[in-house]
Amino acid sequence: MRKTSFALALLTAAVLTACGGTDPRPGDQTPKTKFTQQVVFGDSLSDVGTYAVGGVALMGGGTYTINGDATSVNPELTGKNYTTLVAAQLGLPAPCAAQTGLEGSASTNPALNFSVPIKFNANCFNYAQGGARVTDPYGPGNKKYDRPGAISLGQTTVPVVKQIDNHLAKVGGKFSGTELVIVTAGGNDVLEQTNELKAGATTAGGTALITSLIQQLAPGTNNPATAQATLLTTLQAEAAKGSSAETIIGVAIRTAAGLGNTPAVANAATIGATAGAAAQAAGLKYSTDHAPELVAALGKAGAELAVYVKTKILANGANYVVVNNLPDVSIAPSVLAESADTQKLVATMVSTFNSQLKTGLGEDAKVLYVDLASVSHDQAVNPEPYGLSNTKTAACDLSAAKNPFGSSLVCNKNNLISGDVSHYMFADGVHPTPFEYALIARYILLQMSGKGWI
């Protein structure tokens, strides 16, 4: 992968121009292809402001990186993602969000208002949305997953397939053939699938915990049959509150003691350890049993994206389509915080998605398949040649006091961790910093040059 690093270095001069620097190369640098516009479909990696409204905008956020032009603090803190940099390098207008708005909590306090009417912007062609999946309309952050009583952001998460349809409806059903079309998706399919797996494992573990406690405690009560029913009702109610395993165990011991099993108090540690082990085993079994389903789901999503590129984009007149594969999410801070088994599972999901995507696309002169997975993995294990100073820590302070959503969506120069984070790889648990976005832009432009498009 050292060759990749060298290739990126070769393109530094080209992107310096896009970032506002000077291009030291002599001669005419006019692109070989005169693109008329940039059209983008995808998720938060490409989103340029779908949710930059209401309270999000007032918090100084709106895109998934370190928001805002903070070049006065550090030249690398541009606040730009890769689509903006690529457009600038190609002499195209800065991309703007095709749809804006939120469907979250309403408030008379503007800073807490996340209910903003959906607006469709006729002259904007970046359809990418944070939380968007390939086909499923319900991605992370969608109001479907609201928790009772919690502040809701209400992301619209329009899937890529619908984004493409929306564009075709806007332009009369056909691409002109002179656009640069960029497609990037799959990350939210990984995140939502793993979230559902964790939820299922938690439920399985919770059921096993309660079952073990009842099995251990009911026989020692005055009336075991009645005690079983009482313990079940009591512990299920406690679990419904979201109580921890330790709390549930404590409630079980006290309830059983009140029903005549007084020795349970003295044996609480042993009883709790046995129940905890049962819960852990059940959760692990659930994860192991259902992991293949997640891998299959990602393979299906990758294959579907390839079909959409071919039947909805190429078949409708597009001649220049950049398809970025899914970066190696397994090296992101949020995934590194999980177990080794989860990291391996995520890596397998990513590789399966990318394999199906590449196979489905096949060989087509109008498609440029960009391997962001290999580059992102190399950056994580070999950061120095890329100029990266940190590939494991989020640059944004994600604590509730500084960042109520724990996301780079509302991250800016005012809520970063201490120290120089300008060359960090990640803004939050999964999204790039502006510097990392510049590396992505360089690599895409390099591949476009190799394709003969620029």
Looking at residue 91, its pLDDT comes to 96
What's the N-to-C CA distance of the chain in angstroms?
Answer: 24
For residue 351, is pLDDT > 60?
yes
Looking at residue 384, its pLDDT comes to 96
- What CA–CA distances, in Å, run from 180 to 91, 92, 177, 305, 313? 12, 10, 8, 18, 11
pLDDT tens for each residue of 102-140: 999 999 999 999 999 999 999 999 999 999 999 999 999
* CA proximity to 114, closest of 48, 51, 63, 66: 51
For residue 341, is pLDDT > 60?
yes
The arithmetic mean of pLDDT across residues 270-276, rounded, is 97
For residue 175, is pLDDT > 90?
yes
Model confidence band, residue 147 (pLDDT cutoffs 50, 70, 90): confident
Model confidence band, residue 33 (pLDDT cutoffs 50, 70, 90): confident
pLDDT tens for each residue of 290-319: 999 999 999 999 999 999 999 999 999 999
The arithmetic mean of pLDDT across residues 163-192, rounded, is 97
For residue 262, is pLDDT > 90?
yes
Looking at residue 9, its pLDDT comes to 42
pLDDT tens for each residue of 393-403: 999 999 999 99
Average pLDDT of the residues of the chain: 93
The arithmetic mean of pLDDT across residues 410-435, rounded, is 97
Distance between CA 249 and CA 274 in Å, rounded? 11
pTM for the model: 0.90
Distance between CA 39 and CA 164 in Å, rounded? 10
Distance between CA 62 and CA 65 in Å, rounded? 9
Domain ranges across the chain: 2-22+37-185+291-451, 200-283
Distance between CA 165 and CA 216 in Å, rounded? 58
For residue 171, is pLDDT > 50?
yes
The arithmetic mean of pLDDT across residues 6-23, rounded, is 41
Residue with tokens 């040649």: 385
Beta strand 37-42 with 99-103 is unpaired
Looking at residue 321, its pLDDT comes to 98
Looking at residue 146, its pLDDT comes to 87
Name which residue leads in pLDDT, 221 or 15: 221
Model confidence band, residue 30 (pLDDT cutoffs 50, 70, 90): low
Residue with tokens 């915080």: 337
Beta strand 424-426 with 390-394 is parallel
**Identity of the amino acid at 117:** P
Fold of 2-22+37-185+291-451: Rossmann fold (3.40.50)
H helix or E strand, kind and range, residue 391: strand 390-394
Model confidence band, residue 29 (pLDDT cutoffs 50, 70, 90): low
